[in-house]
Amino acid sequence: AVEQLQHELAALHASLREERSCSEELRTEVSRLHGAILNKGDTVEAEMLRSQVRALEEGKALLTSELVLARQQLGSDLQQARMEATQLRAQLEQMLQAQPEVLEKLSQSVQTETESPVATQQKVCRQDAQVQAAMAEPPVCLVPTDTSKEDNTRAAALATLTAEKQTLQLKLEEADRRLAEARIRTDKREAQHREALERSEAERQRLLDEVEALRTERASLTTSLEVAKQGLDATTSRAEELETALALEQQRGGSEIQARQTEVDELRSQLAQFSAVEAALRHSAQAAQTQLAEYRTLAESHAEQAARLAAQLQVCESELALCREQLCTSQREAQASHEELVAGRAEKVELAQAVQALHQAKGRLADQLSALELEVGNLRNSQVALEADRAAMELEAEQLRKSHAAHEARRSALEAQLAEVQQQCDRQASDHQQALQGLQADLTRALNRAAEACSQLEAEQQRCARQEAALEALREQLASEQANRQAAQTQLDAAQGDKLELEAKLDNALDERRALLDRCLRSESEAETLRTNAADLRRRLDDSLAALHELGRENQLLQMDNAKHL
């Protein structure tokens, strides 16, 4: 029976080794599935694979727990069987050691008991016969003789024999009782031994059934692993297709974003150019306004001078001396006007220098704008600030339009005033000419003295002509500036339309980019969840491996114990 138990233990160890190899294969397959799932995205196939892997992990945990329980129960049963075997072996050894003495005693007692009763019975029978014969004979006399003595001895011997017979019967009964007890003990031991064998046989059958169930479970797990492999292959192909599509979509989105960014940069450069042109137009309009103001002051001064000259010409007959003084005063006034002209030229030079300084400032501003444009490349994420700047620029452009309209209104008013001044100058010139023609006859004697005044008047007329030519040039310049302004306005409107279109495209591109970023973030979150699940599964796998190693060590200890007992 012990050898049979050892054979069964060897078979169970072999089945356990097979189950361990199967669990190793399952572990490698599960790790491969986890690696494949970690490399793939969040799809329905990946979810199915994760559910299958979880089912496999649960089945593996159940198998591991059942295997641990089976090993524990097997160890306890083996320990109990070993204890019973040692007890039976000790009892058998004791029985074997005590068997010769018991057999010898039993044989002696049986032999004595079988021999002595026959002799005693024969002797008792003879004595009974003798007693009966003696009792049947009549008494001869009452005097004691030798025969009575013999009868007494015989009666005493008969009494002793009956006592011996009773003692022998008691001994026989005791021997029968001991034999019955020995047979009962042997029957009990045989029954216990049979029960132990039956228990070991039932335990072996149960372990075989469990091993068979584990094999069927392993077969089902292998089939589910095959199905999981097929699903994983399909998931791999699908994930590769999705990855290629995502890469193409990212490339296309990046190229579109770059194109939109270049278009936005071009529009910004055009807007900067337009703003520079508008600033130049504004500066030129301001310069024209200043020149018009200067010309107006000059015209007013000339009108005053003409009035003074007319007064001087009217009173030159009566006051020739005063005429010289008036000529001197006119010379002084001419000198003052010349000085004013020089001052105006100096102011013009200063204005030119100021314009040059403004151009330099504009260059610095252009450099700053280029630096700001470089910073804009790094501040693409601050779209709200750019939108605010754009709104501010639009407001500034609107203000510039309003100011330009105001300048146009002022220019038209100045042109009207200039026309009125020109008419006044013409009227004054005609009046002066008529006065001069009327005074030519009266001033023949004072011609030498008035020649200088006439030359001065001619110089003033030439200067007025030059001023009129300058005013005409200014009108032409204003007309050309107005045409340039209209062209710039049309370009600005076209640029604003292109800017709005590009802003709409940029918004669409930003929406697409935001959607791609959302998808990427979702993919990263799903990958993180897969990593956490994989870490959990790896931890559970490490726990199962530790349990398997512990079972292996316990198995080695059991094998060592079996080897020691063998």
Under 8 Å between Cβ of 225 and 56: yes
Would you say residue 115 lies in a domain? no
Q: State whether residue 319 is helix, strand or coil.
A: coil
Query: Long-range contacts of range 156-159, CB-CB < 8 Å, 24 or more positions apart?
Result: 157/127, 158/124, 158/127, 158/128, 158/131
Token pair for 566: 């063998």
Instruction: Tell me the C-alpha distance between 266 and 262, whole Å.
Output: 6
How many CA atoms are closer than 13 Å to the CA of 224, on its beta-carbon side? 20
- Asked, for residue 456, whether it belongs to a domain, the answer is yes
Taking only the tens place, the pLDDT of each residue in 474-488 is 778 878 888 888 887
Average pLDDT of the chain, as a whole number: 68
Round to whole Å and give the CA distance between 191 and 199. Answer: 12
- For residue 134, the model assigns a pLDDT of 47
What DSSP state is assigned to residue 379? -
**pLDDT number for residue 491:** 83
Q: Cα separation of 19 and 68, whole Å?
A: 12
pTM (whole model) above 0.75: no
pLDDT of residue 429: 64
Q: Which pLDDT value is given to residue 482?
A: 81
**Directed axis angle between helix 447-565 and helix 2-39, to 10°?**
170
Instruction: Provide the pLDDT confidence category of residue 51 given band limits of 50, 70 and 90.
Output: low
Pairwise CA distance, residues 249 & 553, whole Å:
56
Predicted local confidence at residue 376, as pLDDT: 55
> Reduced to 3 states, what is the DSSP secondary structure of residue 40?
coil
pLDDT at residue 140, rounded to an integer: 38
Cα 470 from Cα 244, distance rounded (Å):
73
pLDDT tens digits for range 62-106: 666 666 665 666 666 666 656 765 666 666 566 666 656 655 665
Higher local confidence (pLDDT), 472 or 464: 472
61 vs 117, higher pLDDT? 61
Instruction: Count structural domains, the chain.
Output: 1
Give 130's pLDDT tier (boundaries 50, 70, 90).
Answer: low
pLDDT tens figures, 32-44: 665 665 565 445 5
Task: Identify whether 180 is part of a domain.
Answer: no
Residue reference for tokens 């030498």: 448
Q: What is the pLDDT of residue 453?
A: 61
When comparing pLDDT for 239 and 545, which is higher?
545
The alpha carbon of 542 is separated from its chain's Cα centroid by a whole number of angstroms, namely 25
Asked if 42 and 526 count as a contact pair (C-beta separation under 8 A), the reply is: yes
Looking at residue 374, its pLDDT comes to 72
pLDDT for the residue numbered 546 = 86
Residue 475 lies in a domain: yes
Residue 420 pLDDT grade (very low, low, confident, very high; cuts 50, 70, 90): confident
**pLDDT reading at 117 higher than 50:** no
| Domain annotation covers residue 370 | yes
Please give the residue range of the domain that contains residue 277.
Answer: 251-520
Task: Please report where in the chains the tokens 């009966």 appear, as a residue.
Answer: 132
The C-alpha atoms of residue 72 and residue 83 are separated, in whole angstroms, by: 16
The answer to the question of residue 459 being in a domain is: yes
- Tally of helices (H runs) and strands (E runs) in the chain: 6, 0
- Interval 376-412: pLDDT, tens: 566 566 556 556 666 776 677 677 777 767 767 776 7
* Structure tokens, 413: 């008013």
Q: How far is CA 28 from CA 23, 25, 76, 225, in A?
A: 9, 5, 32, 11
What single string gives the DSSP state of each residue in 439-502?
HHTTTSTTHHHHHHHHHHHHHHHHHHHHHHHHHHHHHHHHHHHHHHHHHHHHHHHHHHHHHHHH
Q: 404: buried, middle or exposed (CB in 10 Å: 19+, 13-18, 0-12)?
A: middle
Compute the CA torsion angle 65, 70, 75, 81 (nearest 10 deg): 160
The region of weakest confidence among 29-38, 183-192, 209-218 is: 29-38
Any residues with CB less than 8 A from the CB of 227 and at least 6 apart, and which?
Answer: 52
Alpha carbon of 312 to those of 305, 306, 318, 324: distances in Å?
10, 10, 10, 10
| pLDDT tens digits, one per residue of 144-158 | 445 566 667 766 766
CB-count exposure of residue 463 (10 Å: 0-12, 13-18, 19+): middle
Percent pLDDT > 90 in the chain is 0
Residue 256 inside a domain? The answer is: yes
- 313 within some domain: yes
Q: Tell me, what's the pLDDT at 139?
A: 39
Contact 530, 37 (CB under 8 A): yes
State pLDDT tens for residues 503-548: 888 888 888 888 888 887 887 888 788 888 888 888 888 888 888 8
Could you give the residue ranges of the DSSP H alpha helices within 40-145? Answer: 44-136
Number of alpha carbons in the 13 Å side-chain half-sphere of residue 241: 7
pLDDT tens-digit series, residues 432-461 = 667 656 656 665 675 666 567 667 767 777
- Residue 225 scores a pLDDT above 50: yes
Q: Once rounded to an integer, what is the mean pLDDT over residues 207-235?
A: 65
**Cα separations (Å) of 479 from 285, 286, 295, 502?**
12, 15, 18, 34
- The whole-number average pLDDT for the span 550-561 is 86
Q: Read off the pLDDT band of 563 (50, 70, 90).
A: confident
Q: What's the whole-number mean pLDDT along residues 355-372?
A: 68
Could you read off the pLDDT of 173-189 as tens digits, one per residue? 775 676 667 667 767 76
More confident residue, 280 or 129: 280
Q: Above pLDDT 70, what percent of the chain?
A: 33
Q: Is the pLDDT of residue 260 over 60?
A: yes
Query: How many angstroms separate the Cα of 50 from the Cα of each of 38, 44, 87?
Result: 10, 10, 54
User: Within 10 Å of residue 450's Cβ, how many Cβ atoms?
Assistant: 24
